[in-house]
Amino acid sequence: MLHKVMQNRWGRLAVAVFGTFLYAVGLNLFIVPMDLYSGGIMGVTQILRTLIARRVALPTNIDILGILYFIFNIPLLLFAWRKLGRQFVLRTLICTVSSSLFLSLITAPATPILDERLACCVVGGIVCGFGLGLALTCGCTSGGLDIIGYYLSKRGSRFTVGRFSLGFNAVLYTLCALLFDVPTAIYSVIYLVFASLFVDRTHEQNINLQMLIFTHNEDPELPKQIMTRLGRGVTYWEGKGAYTERDLRVLCVCVSKFEENELRGIVLSLDPHAFFIVQEGVRIGGNFARKLS
């Protein structure tokens, strides 16, 4: 059922929006009540909101965090429109708007749900990381540093996404320690670590597969369909079954885990008796595109 939903464009978008809802729940119910801070652009907006709240009385019926987050994303969305294309920006805009809306409507409780800061870091990190991972798996992003990171990865820059995020967040949490206190910065880092771990675990496009397909179908339509519908290269060679002594063709394709079911569907539609060997977590170098769609 979930696989069918994920293969539909509108279904993926709905799951991505649900992911932004989970992110808002995790942040506003577990992290914000403990006066902790997220990383990236969200962390910047949290710090700004705290500084504003110290000077003026903010409304209690709506949280301005979502509004600030959307305002900070406007120049990034304009940059993405020029550099990354219309479809990417439209998906990002939908998720950014939904994320900003949920962050504004889901207000933080006056009393923390959990008493322990560490427990809030763990639970909030799991919920937020799972939500963001869902959005990324669906080919969407809620904006922020993801836009810049995606641009760097598309360019093949040596200044990688990880290095960029690490450098940005190092400055951000140093600022937290100076503006507030060192424990706040430390617990915020702990939250970010748990969130990042669950983003990677949920985001199936981060997991690479090598699939060997053994088929008696020598029709060139099979590799053509794989290359056309998935945009992945195919290498094949001729083989022979030791038991049957029948000629066969072995196709080798590298895909992300998110693409595995679609690849199986393409192959089985042309050869229902095809045999698969799947190796997960392989290292891939060279021209292998990391996709967000």
The pLDDT tens digits of the residues spanning 109-123 come to 888 888 889 999 999
The proportion of the chain whose per-residue pLDDT surpasses 90, expressed as a percent, equals 17
Domains and CATH numbers, the chain: 2-205 (no CATH), 207-280 (3.30.70.120)
275-280 and 208-215 strand pairing:
antiparallel
pLDDT for 138 beyond 70: yes
Dump pLDDT digits (tens) for 92-114.
Answer: 888 889 988 998 888 888 888 88
pLDDT digits (tens, 9 = 90+) for 245-262: 888 899 999 887 767 777
Extract long-range pairs of 224-231: CB within 8 Å, 24+ residues apart.
225/266, 225/270, 226/251, 226/253, 226/263, 226/266, 226/267, 229/262, 229/266, 230/255, 230/259, 230/262, 230/263, 230/266, 231/289, 231/291
| Average pLDDT value for residue range 15-33 | 91
Higher per-residue pLDDT: 283 or 53: 53
Mean pLDDT, range 189-206, rounded to an integer: 76
pTM, whole model, 2 decimals? 0.71
Mean pLDDT of the chain: 81
Rounded distance between C-alpha atoms, residue 204 and residue 218, angstroms:
31
**pLDDT greater at residue 192 or residue 145:** 192
Q: Give the model's pLDDT for residue 109.
A: 85
User: Residue 5 above 90 pLDDT?
Assistant: no
Show Cβ contacts of residue 142 under 8 Å, excluding neighbours closer than 6 positions: 20, 23, 92, 95, 96, 99, 132, 135
On the question of pLDDT at 158 being above 60, the answer is no
